[in-house]
Amino acid sequence: MTGSETDSETGTAIRLLVADDHPVVRAGLRAVLATEPGFLVVAEAATAEAAVARAAEGDIDVVLLDLQFGTGMSGAEATAAITARPGAPRVVIVTTYDTDADTLPAIEAGATGYLLKDAPPEDLAAAVRTAAAGRSALAPAVADRLLTRLRTPGISLTPRETEVLALVAEGLSNRALGERLHLTEGTVKSHLARIYTKLGVESRTAAVAAATELGLIRR
């Protein structure tokens, strides 16, 4: 694709940065985007840190960013760093994860769009165009979950509660969990008590099951 191919709405090419730690995924996204008129993939990044640095150069309109990288900065952290700059590009998360524990931090960090990797090519193209225009572009399942969360705020967990419950799901005891998060056992028990109340359960096992079903944590 060349820079002369332009977007029908803006009259200029939408310049893209594709960031994912898997070369095959980057190649796949580039191949899909290359079929769309008005898209120009100007760079790729294999790490979140590289994506932040490349996005800061000022010639990117939309960053397609994975949520989980092998090591280092996460996609949500990269999103916050990218969008914090004046005149920053829009960020569209393209990932396999769709739980609240994944989507909410990314959206709160400033992501304009959130799409799952199994989305049809036309949905990816539409999300890029929507994000470039400054509008939200969320996968239907993600949008539905966010609406449910807004309508039933009682089932939402704080970031710390989500972190605690995710470690419970891994099988950590209160003591081990406290050591991991640098909390006292009493603080861990307080977090668990609030989690039980919010989820309407009375045990660690039931809390994990309920939170998983609601999409609050990933198993």
Which position has the higher pLDDT, 5 or 62? 62
The amino acid sitting at 59 is D
If asked whether residues 111 and 123 sit together in one domain, one would say: yes
If asked whether residues 78 and 163 sit together in one domain, one would say: no
pTM of structure: 0.67
Q: Is the pLDDT of residue 119 over 50?
A: yes
Which residues partner with 158 through β-bridges? Answer: none
CATH number, domain with residue 163: 1.10.10.10
Asked if the structure places residue 9 within a domain, the reply is no
If asked whether residues 132 and 207 sit together in one domain, one would say: no
- Position 4 confidence tier, pLDDT thresholds 50, 70, 90: very low
Chain mean pLDDT for the chain: 86
If asked whether residues 117 and 142 sit together in one domain, one would say: yes
Residue 177 CA to residue 165 CA, distance in Å, equals 10
| Tokens at 23, concatenated | 């070369």
Asked if the structure places residue 119 within a domain, the reply is yes
Question: Would you call 125 helix, strand, or coil by DSSP?
Answer: helix
- Position 70 confidence tier, pLDDT thresholds 50, 70, 90: confident
- Position 89 confidence tier, pLDDT thresholds 50, 70, 90: very high
Q: Is the pLDDT of residue 10 over 50?
A: no
CATH number, domain with residue 30: 3.40.50.2300
Domain termination site, one of 106, 123, 149: 149
